[in-house]
Structure 1
Amino acid sequence: MRWEEVQEKFPEEWVVFEAVEAYSQDGFRCINSVNVIDCYEDSLDAMQRYKQLHRDQPRKEIYFLHTSRPDLKIEEKWVGFQRWR
């Protein structure tokens, strides 16, 4: 699902999602396609779900963001992204 579709389906929500199609460029993680796992009105609930998923499946590329965010270009340093091979 593209980010624009997520924004339409879950307006003004916090979404927890897995990056399906993504690449790194100039210190940013650019995400083209996602699978939405859950959505929340409260950021703390979304963060708890993110932490649980990250703990249970550390090799998956999981994020949580608010759908008001204009795009999915995320600074790698900010999210502590680590590429697994």
Structure 2
Amino acid sequence: MKWSEVCNHYPCRFVLVEALKAVSNNRVRTIEEMTVVEEYDNPIQAWEGYKHYHKENPEREFYVFHTSKQEIEVIEEYFTGIRRS
């Protein structure tokens, strides 16, 4: 699905999407194709859903957006800290 299709199917909702096809350019991730995993009433539920799906499938690319946005943009940030075991 394209973002415009998601917005039409899920108006004024928080959606958890999985990126199926995405490209990066100058630290901006553009999601070209996505699928809706879940829809939510509020951001707290959406964030809990994100954490649940990401924990089970860390290799998959999940995002939470609100469908009132005309366009979506993901800015890539890289972790530069030290991890402790």
Q: TM-score over 0.5 for the alignment?
A: yes
Larger Rg: 2
Paired residue for 2:63?
63
Provide TM-score, normalisation by structure 1.
0.87
Output the CA distance in 2 between the equivalents of 1:17 and 1:70: 16
Provide TM-score, normalisation by structure 2.
0.87
Paired residue for 2:73?
73
Shift of residue 71 of structure 1? 1.5
Output the CA distance in 2 between the equivalents of 1:43 and 1:14: 7
Give the superposed CA RMSD.
1.4
Output the CA distance in 2 between the equivalents of 1:77 and 1:12: 28
Identity %: 32
**Residue 39 in structure 1 maps to residue 21 in structure 2:** no
Q: Hey, which bits of structure 1, 4+ residues long, moved more than 3 A?
A: none
- Give the gaps of 5 or more residues in structure 2: 80-85
Shift of residue 73 of structure 1? 2.1
The structure richer in helix per residue is 1
Shift of residue 37 of structure 1? 0.5
- Give the gaps of 5 or more residues in structure 1: 81-85
2:52 maps to a residue whose letter is Q
